[in-house]
Structure 1
Amino acid sequence: MAGDGFEDFYLGTRHRVVTFLYAMGGDRAEAQDAAQEAFLRAWQRWSTVARYDDPEAWVRTVGYRLCVNRWRKVRNRMVAYQRHGPQPPAPPPSEDTVALVDALRRLPEPERLAIALHHLLDLPVAEVAAQTGAPVNTVKSRLARGRRTLATLLGRDLPGEYTHA
């Protein structure tokens, strides 16, 4: 079993690992996150890691490498920021978008899910059925009801292609 002895190992080494990572990087939260990820990886491979001469060294190394990778990502973001400047602010949503999101929130969850999967993600009805665990005809009914409700909420007529289920 993967957990045999792991809890004792974790309890006996977690403070030292976090302390080491904190000393190396200077960011306590980052050290805690990296240590947590390293211990998770050790737990997933515990039957192998437990047989190492020094499992704690393995966890420290994994944690340190995780920190280094995160530092590289931050550094690369900083370089990109210096090279290109900040990204322009995102424009506010249009009135139509705000109205649509408000109307979608008013739909029952099954109808909202069917509408989002089919119309926003362009999934075919059969795929929506597979992902939601509902029969194809149920998905078609949910789409039809959802479209009618949205049309009413938005004060619009449905295009001819959507007037039938």
Structure 2
Amino acid sequence: MTRSPATPLPPPKARRRLRESAALTQPQLATRVGVTPATVRAWESGRTTPRGRKREAYAKLLKTLAEEEAARLAKQEQEREREREREQEALPDPVLEPKPEPRSEPVALTPAQAFDALYAFSAPALVRQTFLLTGRREQARESVERAFQTAWERWPEVARDRDPVGWVRATAYEYALSPWQRFRPRHRHPEPPPADPGDRTLLNTLLRLPPRHRRTLVLYDGVGLDLPETAAETEASTPATANRLLHAREAVAGRLPALADPRVLHRRLAELASNERLRPAEPPSVRGGGERRARFRTRAAIAFTVALIGTTVLTARTAPTHYEPPVSPGQAVRGVPQKVAPGSLSDEELELRQKLRDQMQDGPERLSPRLE
């Protein structure tokens, strides 16, 4: 018995767009399908995929919403067409009025222009968010710049990603929270804290949280991601992410009771990040810095490869090709003592040397010494 193929579904972002275009909330759509709102959030974020009868009901509902959206768009297009016709009728004689120039077609952006647009759109907010994680202004700027440089090196992959801002944000957070940052000379000199006492207390409270809890709190209550998206970006399960969020909120509320309300906490995090005047570098300088780093790594890799090849060739040329036995240690021959170290000669050695000098320098006696 063959199993019928599963009903095709639109991508997660399209599912959410169809629901929002129909002015439906997640609880309302969950009621129509017969699931919980959390399940709908998981479907729209792409973390889970519906199966069985729920998939059939969900696909049928999305198809209906898509048809209704197409009908609305067609109706709007017809109304716009009629409006243009009425405007054309209201225009004066074209002989008396100059003819408008035709509209130019939109020009496709080059990779550099697309990168600059993404940087200009998201870099300022990412620098402020990273400042909440580190409490250091220069480190926040450097982390975002390094993340965008990595994105420029992998631009085809990042440009095709469904969430380029999330890709860069995750890279910047990983660089900012890396353990080796504490060994840099910059950490020996603390930066001036925020001027406002409330901001200073809130920032110190955030920095006392474990890095994972701090990142979860910033993503959920600061950036505004939902729980599945926060779990996906922090590479943790949804229950573990919820547990980290609860512990982080309890720690903040324990020191600042006024921030026990998540809405107040979200507003205070936004104010803390906005009060710091953090301006990222210009896009061309970021791209140029990434290209210089890439060239340096390439040249270093080539130099290391050449050195390794040269060392291998030199070793192959100078290595012995046959076995050479080691030289045996010296031994006393026919009463001649072994000379261990340089120094003055003993009486016996002086006598022996004089005897050798008195004998003949050539002849058979030198080859076959006689015993005395």
Query: TM-score by structure 1 length?
Result: 0.42
Richer in helix (by share) = 1
Query: TM-score by structure 2 length?
Result: 0.19
Larger radius of gyration: 2
